[in-house]
Structure formats: C-alpha cells, structure tokens
Amino acid sequence: MQSNTTYCTSDPAPAHLEKLAQDLVRGAFLELYLTPKPGLVDLNDSGSHPDLSVARMEASLQIVSCYLGDLADALTAGEPLAGQVRLGTAAERAMLRCTGTNCHRGYIFVSGMFLAASASVPSLDEKLLSQQITVLAKRFFARGEYESTNGSKARSRYKVGGVRREALSGFATLFEHALPVFRQEIASGGNRGTATYAMLGRLMQTVEDTTALHRCGQEGLKTVQEDGRILERMVLEREDFVGFLIERNAHYVEKNLTMGGVADLLGLALAWLSHTGEMATPSARPAAPVEQVTACHG
Ligand SMILES: CC(C)(COP(=O)(O)OP(=O)(O)OC[C@H]1O[C@@H](n2cnc3c(N)ncnc32)[C@H](O[C@H]2O[C@H](COP(=O)(O)OP(=O)(O)OP(=O)(O)O)[C@@H](O)[C@H]2O)[C@@H]1O)[C@@H](O)C(=O)NCCC(=O)NCCS
Ligand SMILES: Nc1ncnc2[nH]cnc12
C-alpha cells in the first residue's frame, strides 16, 4: 500500500515520535487480542459487532499504522493543525474504503491527539503530556462541529461529554484511573495480565462511552459501569473474572451492547505502557522492532 502523502523533511520523525507511533499501533493490537472482552471483538468472537472480525480490524489497524507514521513525519515537518486533521479524515476515509467499517474512527482521533501532544512534550512526563492534550483539544474543537455523529447525538441526548470531554480533560480517565490501577496491581504482586483486566474494569466504570449510550441508552452505560466495578473487585480478590467476562459477553451480545470508547482508551493505555517499558517482562530480551508497514494507502 503506497501512501500518497509524503513530507519533504530533512530527516524522518525523531526517534521518540516514531517509536510512540509504533507503540500506539501495538497498543491497539494488544487491546484487540485481549480475550475475553464483553461485547467487543476478541479472539473468541465478534461480540456485538456482526460486521466486524479480527481480520477486518487487523486490516483497519494497517490503515491506522500508516496514518500514525504519516502524522509523525508531518509533525516533524511542522505541519499545522489543519494539515494534521486532514491526515485524520483521510485515514477515516481509507478505513471505510478498505474495510467497510468505522471500527477505529475514535482511535484515529485519540491516538492522533496523543502523538501530536507528544511532539511538544518529548519526555515521559505524564502531567505535561496531559496538559498539552488539553491545549490541542481546545484548538481542535474550536474549529466547530460540522457533522452529526452517533457520539454527538448521544452527547446531547444524555448530557454527557463523551470523547470530546475526555480529550479536553487531557485524557484524565487514562492518566488518573487506568494507569494508576495498572501500576497498583503490579505493585501488589499482580502481573501484566491481571493488571490489564484491572485497567479494563476501571475504564468500564469511568468512561462516558457514547457507543454504549447509542446502543442501549443510560441502562446500557450503567450495565457497563456496574460490570466494571465487579471486574475490578474480582481481579483484586483473585476470583474467576474470566468466567464472569464470558458470561457477561453473552448478555452484551443479546442486548447489542458494546463499549468502543472503553476499548480505545484501553488500547491507548496499553500503548503508553508499551512506550514506558512497563509492558515488557523484566527479563525480556529487547523486543524485536515492530515489523514496519512497508507501504500505505492514502
Ligand atoms: C472527535 C471525533 C472522535 C468525533 O467524536 P463524536 O463525539 O462526534 O462522536 P463519534 O464520531 O461517534 O466518535 C466518538 C467515538 O469515540 C469513541 N468514544 C466514545 N465515547 C468515548 C469516550 N468517553 N472516551 C473516548 N472515546 C470514546 C468511540 O469510538 C469507538 O467506537 C466506535 C465503534 O463502536 P460502534 O458502536 O460500532 O460505533 P457506531 O458505528 O457509531 O455505531 P453502530 O452504527 O455500529 O451501532 C469506533 O469508532 C471506535 O473507535 C466513538 O465511536 C472525531 O471522529 C471527529 O471529529 N471526526 C470528524 C473528522 C475529523 O476531524 N477527524 C480527524 C480526527 S484527528
Ligand atoms: N475490540 C474492539 N471491538 C469492537 N470495537 C472496537 N473498537 C476498538 N476496539 C474494538
């Protein structure tokens, strides 16, 4: 796949931007393959998404990978916000054209926002990164809202902030909930598997997920939040949370309930933890470089 966007930069994106772009793709793959997850596509089934499959989402992530690589180059070339947004909308169109779905539309937005913020905060300082995300989100949303989306309808109908408030808060749910509960689980003797499910439980409780509202209204969102509370407790108490999640998946499929926003923020959290090295096993050999996507569709 050949990208039709090239940036004449004297040099490629700085190493930290290029690696973060790769880690943002890695995080989305880690989320996709996490199994089981109620209502979402995983290695068991497609949850409440009969139009999706693992293969289709992998194809979508190839588009996301091209987008993030192009965005890293554009940021290095000093591309202004309008040009960055054009890359995002082009990626949304490519995803729809190549996979027939919008399965990573939200992830294009949150991962693009995260990478753009990191271009101005070339460190692992999470407070500074969060503040820069808020700055960029204010500039992004100051451009106005031009289309009626499932998310915008859910936000006005249920008086919630959705992904918009999440971005304007500097991804507070990620930095103040998801990452701390992961680190707490590791510190208290857990492993990356239990810590990831503790993160999923906390995100289910805290994300104002407009996809859950769009599908099943307030009752649907409350179901996700209550299940997240139970999941986090079961992980903490070393109960059979996998059995619980398999049972809940059957319920979500019956109700057509999903939580795509939770999935995206989980992918973002796994991406950042990959970037900080907290997803690596202490004795692990340095990870082989992620196979670079050789060419991209524009
Ligand atoms: C800023 C935009 C993301 C638009 O946001 P908006 O609020 O207008 O709503 P949506 O366009 O619907 O996108 C919101 C998507 O963000 C995810 N999400 C929802 N709540 C949250 C939250 N609280 N925090 C973080 N993220 C959240 C979610 O995306 C995931 O779910 C989608 C799949 O679920 P599904 O139910 O299948 O969705 P639908 O197809 O809508 O329903 P069905 O028909 O299938 O029943 C998938 O996208 C996941 O990623 C929300 O969907 C931004 O997109 C925007 O402004 N776009 C305009 C063009 C642009 O500027 N693009 C460049 C961006 S850099
Ligand atoms: N695993 C998943 N299933 C459905 N929608 C998603 N959006 C992001 N990850 C997803």
In one letter, which amino acid is 193?
G
CA of 258 to the centre of ligand 2 (A): 9
Most distant CA atoms of the chain, gap in Å: 55
54: left (phi over 0), alpha (psi -120 to 50) or beta: alpha
Q: Which of 3-7, 198-202, 220-224 has the lowest mean pLDDT?
A: 3-7
pLDDT above 70 as % of the chain: 89
Give mean pLDDT, residues 255-282. Answer: 95
Tokens representing 243 are 């059995």
Q: What is the pLDDT of residue 144?
A: 84
Give mean pLDDT, residues 6-14. Answer: 55
Q: What is the pLDDT of residue 276?
A: 97
CA of 251 to the centre of ligand 2 (A): 17
CA 165 to chain centre: 15
Assign 3-class secondary structure to 32-70.
Answer: HHCCCCCCCCCCCCCCCCCCCCHHHHHHHHHHHHHHHHH
Residue 207 and residue 200 in contact, taking contact as beta carbons nearer than 8 Å: no
Q: What is the pLDDT of residue 288?
A: 54
Give mean pLDDT, residues 77-96. Answer: 97
Q: What is the pLDDT of residue 11?
A: 53
- Residue 157: which residues within 8 A CB-CB, separation 6 or more? 213
Give mean pLDDT, residues 227-239. Answer: 98
Band (pLDDT 50/70/90 cuts) for residue 286 is low
* Cα–Cα dist 296/5, whole Å: 9
Give mean pLDDT, residues 155-180. Answer: 97
* Cα–Cα dist 73/8, whole Å: 9
List of long-range contacts for 71-75, beta carbons under 8 Å, 24+ apart: 71/21, 71/112, 71/115, 71/116, 72/13, 72/17, 72/18, 72/20, 72/21, 72/115, 73/7, 73/9, 73/12, 73/13, 74/5, 74/7, 75/13, 75/17, 75/115, 75/116, 75/119
Give mean pLDDT, residues 207-226. Answer: 98
pLDDT above 90 as % of the chain: 86
Orientation of helix 81-99 relative to helix 105-120, angle to 10°: 150
Which is the closest atom of ligand 2 to the Cα of 37? 1
Q: Which of 15-19, 63-67, 72-76, 269-273 has the lowest mean pLDDT?
A: 15-19
* Cα–Cα dist 190/196, whole Å: 10
Pocket flag, ligand 1, residue 85 (CB < 6 Å): yes
Locus of tokens 């966007």: 5
289: pLDDT strictly greater than 70 = no
Residue pLDDT, tens place only, 115-157: 999 999 989 999 999 999 999 999 999 998 777 999 999 999 9
Band (pLDDT 50/70/90 cuts) for residue 9 is very low
Q: What is the pTM of this model?
A: 0.93
Q: What is the pLDDT of residue 145?
A: 72
Q: What is the pLDDT of residue 122?
A: 85
Residue pLDDT, tens place only, 109-121: 999 999 999 999 9
Which is the closest atom of ligand 1 to the Cα of 265? 25
Buried b (16+ CB within 10 A) or exposed e, 222-260: ebbbebbebbbebbbeeeebeebbeebbeebbeeebbbb
Residue 257 and residue 216 in contact, taking contact as beta carbons nearer than 8 Å: yes
Q: Tally the residues of the chain.
A: 298
* Cα–Cα dist 171/42, whole Å: 25
Best probe residue, ligand 1, of 159, 160, 163 (max atoms within 8 Å of C-beta): 163
